[in-house]
Chains A and B, each alone.
Chain A
Amino acid sequence: MTDAVPPKGTGPLARREARLAWGLLSPTIIAVSLVVLLPLLAIFWISFKPVSLADLRPPEVVLREDLRGDDKAVGDTPSIRYRLRNSSQEQPIRGVSFSDTLPDGLTVTELDPRCTLDGTALACDLGDWEGGFRDTLMIPVTVDQTYLDNGIEPDQTDPVTAGRAVNVLTSGNFTFENFARIFDGDEFWGVLGVTLFYAVFGTVGALLFGLFAAMLLNKSFRGQGILRGLYLFPYVSPVIAVAFAWVLLFDPFSGSANALLIQMGVTTEAINFFGQRPLALIMVTVFEIWRYFPLSFLFILARMQSIDTDMYEAADMDGASPFQQFWYLSVPQLLGILSVLFLLRFIWTFNKFDDIFLLTGGNAGTRTLTVNVYEQAFAVSNIGAGAAVAVVIFACLLAFSIFFLKFISQEEGL
């Protein structure tokens, strides 16, 4: 009789379950890898490439065909003219050739040495072209009656061009210039400083405001639901709508805020809130606080409402004053959610692009790293440099994430 032993390894049922799980997850995994992981790898690749916005269209052969001279009667001798050029001013094209079909009834009298004619099929081999190269081919022909009868002109048939161009995105051409460029000078440290200021103060401010708002609403009274809904408005409305409303409100010429401040005697002349250093940076941070305090408020309120009221009653019996209750009872209870919120919001504020882009466009000392990606890639048209900034952002985030994962594993609930 053999001894009964517990089964080892995974049984068929467990394997089936795991297979099903991966099957259910695979659409998500595939989609996410295509849209998140692949672009991330691409960013690393591009950051070492000398790519500008113009390089996104690979160089190609541009060909124009027309007929020079009369073709109205039998015996006329017009010429078919092919004008060709390289669409790129810098990139060469190798092995340029084109082929075309001549209309019936045109007899070629003299053929360019680079071309061959097989029946009505014309093929020309033009060799290698440097950037910005232009060429013109003239092919003299004699008109027959068939041509006049058919009425098909030479430029009615589309010539086919061919040529191998080196695409800078896939070539083996690498450079460190992008990184050298973005780390060059004081600009980078300025941008990093602005980003950290924005992220730290935006996050802390939103947390403090959220805490204050949560304490206001952590009691039931008539209209509590309405106020709670109202206080969430900044967060749920489209960023573009509220950002433009702010820009208008603080406009130096026709803004209500300036008119109000002047009328109240706070200032004598209009303040350009979003246009001068360092006020613009403070204003975009204030906007960030305004837009995201509802989120912290919601989380903190949810946590507050789950705290047991018995504790406060006991503290009341023991004679703790309201401030003491807040400091010694509420704050320790809220510390967990506050720190989780801080980490998450910090990373998200660090990543924020739309808000600053819409409010100031990164001018007046408000250029953060994310705005710098856009600025480098599209305003300066240097995609490579933009990608290099993106890599820097990613490196920062990786550092945050390691810290975050270490921390969050101790925090339950998330």
Chain B
Amino acid sequence: MNFLRHGYVTGPLLGALWMFVLATTVAVTMSFASGDAFRPSILFSLIWGAGLGAFAITLPALRAAQIGAGVVIALVTYLGFGPVLSGADAGTMPVLIGALILAGCAAVSLWVILDDCPAGPLNRHEFEGAVIRFLTGFGYIFFTAIVVIPFYVMLMTSLKNQAELIQNPLDFTIDLSQGWDLFRSYDELFRQFNFGTYLLNSFFISVLTVFITLLFAVPGAYAVARLRFSGRAAFSRSILLIYMVPMIVLALPIYIAFSMTGLRNSLSGIIMIYPVTTIPVALYMLQGYFRGLPAEIEEAGLMDGLSRLKVIWKITLPLSLPAMASVSLYVFMIAWNEFLLAFMLLDDPSKFTLTRGISSLNSSEIPRQHLMAGSVIATVPIMVLFLGLERFMTKGLTAGGVKG
């Protein structure tokens, strides 16, 4: 491996790899954005990348070299023998934009990656630093791409129509001149497919689930965290075990019992089941938090004549509002996203939850954009909640995230 640790080996090698990564990224981005044919060229990527890497090693601190390199890459890409090749029918504008983005990124990032590398033998620190900077850049691009692409496809598909999608599956450009007509899938879902009701049902069920869960879990968590009784250790451990019972195993007997008692197909049946699936998680999260609260304050309350229940209500709960927010959000998310039980227990379209409603759109008679519009409708509220209260959500996820 030692021969790799030389400026003129490391530089071109990382340069070539990095150029290929960039070329693929730009080609995919431009394909998705414009619908024209772009593809990375392995051969040209490696050649130009290696050249650029060697150049960056030779002239590490020269701004002019950087700009010059960028201009060259942009030019060759535009002329058709650069790292990104475009199809014959691609428009001039997208090709130009693609070339400029690629050149800009390459010229800036490659100099950053090869920052400390001298034009001679490298020591371990310099070499590994360069490799790590390369991997970091690759990681950011890779993770952002894999996360963003499915959601981008979901959103854009919901704004298009079936014929356009089949004609060119890569063309996600939307015709803004249509104005509000772009949202016709959403309009139809709310008008013809009852999605307004589903949205309300889901919201109602999720909020109620949160309340019932807290009602059960707060006293339970307090007891496990603060009170001494025999069986406490066994109890707090078996809470975790309940996580491990798969939902499908429970869903079968619940389905049978609900069929026989007529609770199937009713929202009250769902509301009886959902909180029980979230109570153990909530209890586990809350008892962890309650343990962290100083017991002295509660003891002072007891000395001053409060009963235990009053202590919980007046001292413990106000102190644990942040934890309550995390738990509520997490429980809301579980109830909102729940699919299996809703799918098995609800058959009547007027009582569907959002997830059940979306699964009813999955048929060959209903166009794809409706399915995606439904998915967007289900995803947006949870995203908004999540981004707005990210701090609580992250905390809630780390505390309760042992549950799938």
Minimum CB–CB distance from A91 to chain B (whole Å) comes to: 15
Q: Could you tell me how many residues of chain B have their Cβ less than 8 Å away from some Cβ of chain A?
A: 107
Minimum CB distance partner of B276 in chain A? A35
Given A24-B220, A397-B244: A43 and B253 within 8 A (CB)?
Answer: yes
Inter-chain contact B230/A397, CB cutoff 8 Å: no
| Cβ-based interface call for B224 (8 A) | yes
Q: Give the nearest-CB partner of A38 in chain B.
A: B253
- The answer on a CB contact under 8 Å between A230 and B148 is yes
25 A-B pairs with CB atoms under 8 Å apart are: A18-B227, A27-B219, A28-B216, A31-B275, A36-B242, A39-B250, A40-B249, A42-B253, A212-B143, A213-B143, A235-B397, A239-B339, A240-B359, A245-B151, A245-B154, A254-B165, A254-B166, A260-B28, A323-B128, A348-B403, A351-B248, A351-B404, A383-B252, A393-B249, A401-B241
Determine if B308 and A20 form an interchain contact, defined as CB atoms under 8 angstroms apart: yes
Known: A216-B136, A231-B143, A397-B244. A27 touches B216 (CB 8 A): yes
- Write out the residue numbers on chain A whose beta carbons fall within 8 Å of the beta carbon of B232: 21
Distance A259 CA – B37 CA, assembled complex (angstroms): 10
Residue with the highest number of chain B CB atoms closer than 10 Å, among A256, A290, A347: A256
Q: Is the CB of A232 within 8 A of B227?
A: no
Chain B residues whose C-beta falls within 8 Å of the C-beta of A14 in the assembled complex: 228
The dominant DSSP class at the A interface is helix
Interface window among A69-77, A144-152, A186-194, A295-303: A295-303
Check: A106 CB closer than 8 A to any chain B CB: no
Number of A-B contacts (CB under 8 A): 285
User: Is A264's CB under 8 angstroms from B390's CB?
Assistant: no
Closest-CB distance, B323 to chain A (whole angstroms)? 16
Residues of A within 8 A of B283 (CB): 28
Complex A-B, nearest 6 residue pairs according to Cβ-Cβ distance, in ascending order: A351-B246, A241-B375, A39-B253, A18-B229, A348-B404, A24-B219
Closest to A270 in B: B169
Interface residues of A (CB under 8 A from B): 14, 17-18, 20-22, 24-25, 27-28, 31-32, 34-36, 38-40, 42-43, 46, 56-57, 169, 212-213, 215-216, 225, 227-242, 244-246, 248-249, 251, 253-256, 258-260, 263-265, 290, 292, 295, 298-299, 302, 321-323, 344-345, 347-354, 357-358, 370, 373-374, 377, 383, 386-387, 390, 393-394, 397, 400-401, 404-405, 408, 414
A263 touches B39 (CB 8 A): yes
Interface: B320 (CB within 8 A): no
* B147 interfacial contact with A, CB 8 Å: yes
Q: Is the CB of A370 within 8 A of B147?
A: no
CA distance A284 to B311 in the complex (A): 50
The answer to whether B40 touches A264, judged by C-beta atoms less than 8 angstroms apart, is yes
Q: Does B387 contact A (CB under 8 A)?
A: yes
Least CB distance from B45 to A in Å reads 12
**Which residues of chain B from 146 to 190 have a CB within 8 Å of any chain A CB?**
146-151, 153-154, 157, 165-166, 168-170, 172
A255-B39 in contact (CB<8A): no
Residue of A302, A370, A408 touching B398 (CB-CB under 8 A): A302
> Within 8 Å CB of A245, what residues of B?
150-151, 153-154, 372, 375
Chain B at the A interface: SS class: helix
Task: Chain B residues near A230: list those with CB within 8 A.
Answer: 144, 147-148
Partner of B170, one of A43, A260, A390: A260
The distance in angstroms between the C-alpha atoms of A354 and B355, with both chains bound, is: 12
> Among the listed stretches B11-19, B56-64, B376-384, which one makes contact with chain A, having 4 or more residues with CB under 8 Å of it?
B376-384
* B321 sits at the interface (CB 8 A): no
**B394 and A232 contact, CB distance less than 8 A:** yes
Q: Which residues of A contact B259 (CB under 8 A)?
A: 56-57
Q: Please name 19 further chain A to chain B contacts, defined as beta carbons within 8 Å, in addition to the given A260-B170, A373-B248, sorted by A numbering.
A: A25-B220, A27-B216, A42-B257, A215-B139, A231-B143, A237-B337, A238-B336, A245-B151, A248-B154, A248-B368, A248-B372, A263-B31, A292-B404, A298-B401, A299-B398, A348-B402, A353-B248, A386-B252, A401-B241
A40 to B253, CA, bound (A): 8
Q: A290 CA to B151 CA in the complex, in Å?
A: 13
B107 at the A/B interface (Cβ < 8 Å)? no
